[in-house]
Structure 1
Amino acid sequence: MNLGELLGQVARRLPDLPGFIRGEQQVSWRQLLHRVDSVAAALRARGLGKGDRLLVHSRNNLPLFESAWVAFRLGMVWVPTNVRITPPEAAYLGSSSGAVAMLYDEGFEHYVDAVRQASPALRTVIAMAAPRAGELAYDALLDEGAPLQPGFRPAEVNYNDPLWFFYTSGTTGHPKAGVLTHGQMAFVVNNHLADLMPCLSQQSRSLVLAPLSHGAGIHALVNVARGAACVLPVGDRLDCDEAWRLVQQHRIDNLFTVPTIVKMLTEDPAVSRYDHSSLRYVIYAGAPMYRADQCHALRTLGKVLVQYYGLGEVTGNITVLPADCHDADDGPQAKVGSCGYPRTGMQVAILDEQGRELPTGTDGEICVRGPAVFAGYYDNPQANAECFRHGWFHTGDLGHVDEHGYLFITGRASDMYISGGSNVYPREVEEALLTHPAVTEVAVLGMPDDKWGECGCAVIVTTAQVSDDQLLAHLEPRLARYKWPKQFVRWHEMPKSGYGKIVKKHIRTLLETGTEQPA
């Protein structure tokens, strides 16, 4: 089945119920399907269709929400970006994905220019606001396609046809496009309904606090499948008062976010000013949650926390820790420190380097297999060979399982760290810092941070004095802000191995012990 049929089904079943709410803007399922099929019909008439890539760079809004369904129903591949990336980073995504069309939000014209320069395949650019010369207007496509949409039929697809290029950060180099397919994502939708939100219905309302381009977009698909409206804040930045007001106003029963946001929401005074008794599922993922923060959230909201562990490559479907396994008082049902048990239909194993399964309680690499595992990285055979071995997908994370099958993550095999729910891979930051004329050596490590879980610490060797502000100014056009190091440490030399390689393990030990300069 073309996954885009989910929207058509819910629009026929619940035509007049709301599907998208933002401020005073309320769009019914019937209206959503009409708008999506109008744009899709207009693009099909212009020659776009199955297999073409649609790059989307936008803040959370109605056209971004609709663009996924436009792409799905056309059989195109949806390629959403993280809106916080820089123009060169967007240009790489456009080029590496082979995007032939791009949809962009107001104020991001310079992103389009960067993508055009890097992507010769790009031939169609669609502006959400006023278009420039040679560009199309999103609203004009709505009008152009409206007469064609009554006869619009979604593209015929196979189980393994690509649906979404989910760009995921690795340990080295550029982000890689994980290929999510129509059949795989149909399983993911059902799996989320089974494990995360089993009582979701058309009366449900989902608060969207994270970018629809990534994990929140996966959850939006699940809500569409059950006719549950997505409710978006009006502002682009987190406003805890607005969030809790929306929970009360719309009787929100589910939301997806990261531990950092759960902490901010539950520690804000606004949480006590509004009624949040409608909440049933506060789903968090993307990073570990400190036990103190978990207990505070449970005492504030009740037993509504649901954790899952997963990667973009497995679309979150590795383990689940449901609400009844969360307990602020360390009761008999609590699984403190665990990220849960294997998701429905999925299998988790702890393997050694030879691919042999390790005994209960023994640390090794966390590996997974099952229908939620992606189809592989697009045009990257080397990365595929590295992650698919011994019949399993290798996560690069380290951990063990207990006698009941609950998984405990103990570390990461790679240097990649997670800051505020976003993956950051040090090599990219290091390469950007090394382009500064005064920086000769650099090592970036993720260090514990009370607010963001982890933040970058950059140890640098320089040939001249350079301030933190100068280094950050150098990074501003090169890297998204969330990737910037929070701390810079200056040393005269880097500790190295006998082979001349910088030893990050030694650097971390020196930082953790407070040693200012290696011997």
Structure 2
Amino acid sequence: MDIVAQAARTFGNAPALVTAGRRWSFADLDGDTARIAAALEAQGIRRGDIVALVAPNSAPLVLALMALMRMGAVAAPVNHRFPASHIDGVLARLNPVMMLDSATLEAFVAEALAGGNLAFTAASDMERPTSIIHTSASSGKPKAAVHSFSNHWHSALGSSTNLPFGPGDCWLLSLPLCHVGGYSMLFKSLFGGGALAVPSPEAPLADALASFPVTHLSLVPTQLYRMLRADGGPERLRRLDALLLGGSAVSEPLLREAIRERVPVYLTYGSTEMSTQVTTSPGPVTSARGDSGVVLPYRQVKIDTDGEILVKGECLFMGYLDEGGLRTARDANGWFHTGDMGELSEEGRLTVLGRRDSMFISGGENIHPEEIEKALSSLEGIEEAVVVPAPDAEYGARPVAWLKVRENNGPDDATIMASLRNTLGKLKTPVAYHRVREWQTLPGSPKIDRGWYRKLGESEKG
């Protein structure tokens, strides 16, 4: 399937891609991406070849990714904010046929568009490898997840049944294209006919929202927290048709604040391996009930006997790219084990309880940090919390907490401990509390670097 040509036939001159200086229609995308695909073929790029792109979000990156999609090459967008040594390691493992950084990408696209050659060989196989997206790797080395065209297509198709995105709509490309949430936007636009707005990479989110007629937005909780505190932020957010919120756990105070500000929040749970969304709220949330919505079409979810969330379906990726080739990550029955713990209600709503690998044992009892974080975030004045184990001679490990409090007005340690001992018991009550102004985040990502805090916890004296 040539999704770009099909979108051009269906949506024609409707806006497809918007920047501060130019607007592309779907017909324009068809012509420009064809020229880039022809230029890539002239450079010897063929179906199945890996092309790495180390660059921030931009119109040339969008066009190049769509061109690679059309010709059947495999796009591997790499986070340009990674340290140089990290990027070198990623590229060594990918072993791409071509690598384009920000400068060479811009020059290549400009030259291709000036050339005028539209002839290239379009790929039509739905099962062809299309992208390699690295997991965010909150702990350990990022894994290179390979997705087929069919994976991304069915992801967009299932998403659209719950949250339509069509002509007249505009989704701000606020997530990096090297993450599955950003890359999936290409398919959402081409499938549904909505436009993508590409802000300057360094533009604050609030400024970007003011610069484009945005109707849809994807954020992680840290970004929402900042927007609710930006000048005019709440007003801009409440004008949206939908704000898709995922990427990590959402604290109750943050969700209650968004609801109070009448922000149309759709909670979602997903993963790189499932081509982004797995479950999503069927409409804007109206209470901080804590679940991540219902299972979308083309996905299946079940809870294993030990409480782990298992997933499969047309959106499940092809496997991880290792030195020995493509390694499947499915069990004998085709399920992918997410490493997340959860519950599925009779109504089909999924509640994510936390990471399986974050659990630790204290005095013989299983401790799930997410349970403690939720209790901490429910206290007045605490915006967000991270809980990790610290070594303890008597118990083996005890929980310690890092807290972000509201304007230095959070409760003191004694108040926190008294409250948690009453609700969670002594073993689950952290023995130490540290206040932070800003979180340590993963390289090039707004997600909290939990591995970093876990290492800090390991250095605590028991």
- TM class by shorter chain equals 0.7 to 0.9
Whether the aligned pair in 1 keeps the contact of 2:171 and 2:195 (CA below 8 Å) is: yes
In the alignment, structure 1 residue 291 sits paired with structure 2 residue 235: no
Q: 2:338 aligns with which of 395, 408, 411?
A: 395
Whether the aligned pair in 1 keeps the contact of 2:33 and 2:63 (CA below 8 Å) is: yes
Q: 1:175 aligns with which of 142, 162, 180?
A: 142
In the alignment, structure 1 residue 409 sits paired with structure 2 residue 352: yes
Whether the aligned pair in 2 keeps the contact of 1:180 and 1:374 (CA below 8 Å) is: yes
1:437 corresponds in structure 2 to none
1:143 corresponds in structure 2 to 114
SS in 2 for 1:155: coil
2:194 corresponds in structure 1 to 228
Q: 2:24 aligns with which of 27, 34, 51?
A: 27
Matches within 5 A, 1:76-115: 76-106=73-103
Whether the aligned pair in 1 keeps the contact of 2:319 and 2:328 (CA below 8 Å) is: no
Whether the aligned pair in 2 keeps the contact of 1:387 and 1:395 (CA below 8 Å) is: no
- What are the superposed Cα offsets for residues 389-428 of structure 1, whole Å, 9 maximum, x if unpaired? 553110001122233232222221124999xxxxxxx9xx
Matches within 5 A, 1:45-60: 45-60=42-57
In the alignment, structure 1 residue 260 sits paired with structure 2 residue 226: no
Gaps of 5+ in 1: 107-125, 130-136, 331-335, 354-363, 419-425, 427-442, 452-474, 490-503
Distance 1:382 1:29, change over 3 A: closer
SS in 2 for 1:314: coil
The CA RMSD over aligned residues, in Å, is 3.6
SS in 2 for 1:411: strand
In the alignment, the residues of structure 1 paired with residue 275 and residue 63 of structure 2 have an alpha-carbon distance, to the nearest angstrom, of 20
SS in 2 for 1:24: coil
Gaps of 5+ in 2: 360-368, 371-387, 389-396, 406-439
SS in 2 for 1:310: strand
Whether the aligned pair in 1 keeps the contact of 2:132 and 2:147 (CA below 8 Å) is: yes
In the alignment, the residues of structure 1 paired with residue 452 and residue 313 of structure 2 have an alpha-carbon distance, to the nearest angstrom, of 42
SS in 2 for 1:394: strand
SS in 1 for 2:336: strand
SS in 2 for 1:313: coil
SS in 2 for 1:128: helix
- What are the superposed Cα offsets for residues 13-32 of structure 1, whole Å, 9 maximum, x if unpaired? 33333221111222222222
Distance 1:45 1:380, change over 3 A: closer
2:382 corresponds in structure 1 to none
SS in 2 for 1:79: strand
SS in 1 for 2:322: coil
In the alignment, the residues of structure 2 paired with residue 180 and residue 173 of structure 1 have an alpha-carbon distance, to the nearest angstrom, of 21
Q: 1:155 aligns with which of 98, 123, 145?
A: 123
Whether the aligned pair in 2 keeps the contact of 1:219 and 1:256 (CA below 8 Å) is: no
- Aligned pairs, how many? 393
Q: Match for 2:65: what amino acid?
A: A
In the alignment, the residues of structure 2 paired with residue 188 and residue 212 of structure 1 have an alpha-carbon distance, to the nearest angstrom, of 16
In the alignment, structure 1 residue 204 sits paired with structure 2 residue 179: no
SS in 1 for 2:273: helix
In the alignment, structure 1 residue 338 sits paired with structure 2 residue 291: yes
1:100 Cα deviation from its structure 2 partner: 0.6
In the alignment, structure 1 residue 282 sits paired with structure 2 residue 243: yes
In the alignment, the residues of structure 2 paired with residue 337 and residue 277 of structure 1 have an alpha-carbon distance, to the nearest angstrom, of 21
- What are the superposed Cα offsets for residues 261-305 of structure 1, whole Å, 9 maximum, x if unpaired? 122112222136x66665211001100111111121122234x21
Whether the aligned pair in 1 keeps the contact of 2:139 and 2:451 (CA below 8 Å) is: no
Q: 2:312 aligns with which of 362, 369, 377?
A: 369
1:347 corresponds in structure 2 to 300
1:74 corresponds in structure 2 to 71
In the alignment, the residues of structure 1 paired with residue 16 and residue 22 of structure 2 have an alpha-carbon distance, to the nearest angstrom, of 11
1:58 Cα deviation from its structure 2 partner: 0.8
SS in 2 for 1:378: strand
1:109 corresponds in structure 2 to none
1:255 Cα deviation from its structure 2 partner: 1.1
Matches within 5 A, 1:459-478: none
In the alignment, the residues of structure 1 paired with residue 322 and residue 78 of structure 2 have an alpha-carbon distance, to the nearest angstrom, of 18
Whether the aligned pair in 1 keeps the contact of 2:150 and 2:315 (CA below 8 Å) is: no
- If the length of structure 2 is used for normalisation, what is the TM-score? 0.75
Matches within 5 A, 1:33-48: 33-48=30-45
Distance 1:202 1:479, change over 3 A: closer
Q: Match for 1:317: what amino acid?
A: Q
In the alignment, the residues of structure 2 paired with residue 488 and residue 51 of structure 1 have an alpha-carbon distance, to the nearest angstrom, of 37
In the alignment, the residues of structure 2 paired with residue 154 and residue 287 of structure 1 have an alpha-carbon distance, to the nearest angstrom, of 37
Whether the aligned pair in 1 keeps the contact of 2:127 and 2:150 (CA below 8 Å) is: yes
SS in 2 for 1:396: strand
- What are the superposed Cα offsets for residues 199-222 of structure 1, whole Å, 9 maximum, x if unpaired? x22111111212122212212320
Distance 1:156 1:343, change over 3 A: closer
2:425 corresponds in structure 1 to none
Q: Match for 1:91: what amino acid?
A: D
- What are the superposed Cα offsets for residues 235-257 of structure 1, whole Å, 9 maximum, x if unpaired? 524342x13413xx52x211111
1:315 corresponds in structure 2 to 275
Q: Match for 1:517: what amino acid?
A: K
- What are the superposed Cα offsets for residues 410-467 of structure 1, whole Å, 9 maximum, x if unpaired? 221124999xxxxxxx9xxxxxxxxxxxxxxxx9x9965549xxxxxxxxxxxxxxxx
In the alignment, the residues of structure 2 paired with residue 74 and residue 281 of structure 1 have an alpha-carbon distance, to the nearest angstrom, of 33
Whether the aligned pair in 2 keeps the contact of 1:202 and 1:226 (CA below 8 Å) is: yes
Q: 2:233 aligns with which of 251, 271, 276?
A: 271
2:11 corresponds in structure 1 to 14
2:417 corresponds in structure 1 to none
2:411 corresponds in structure 1 to none
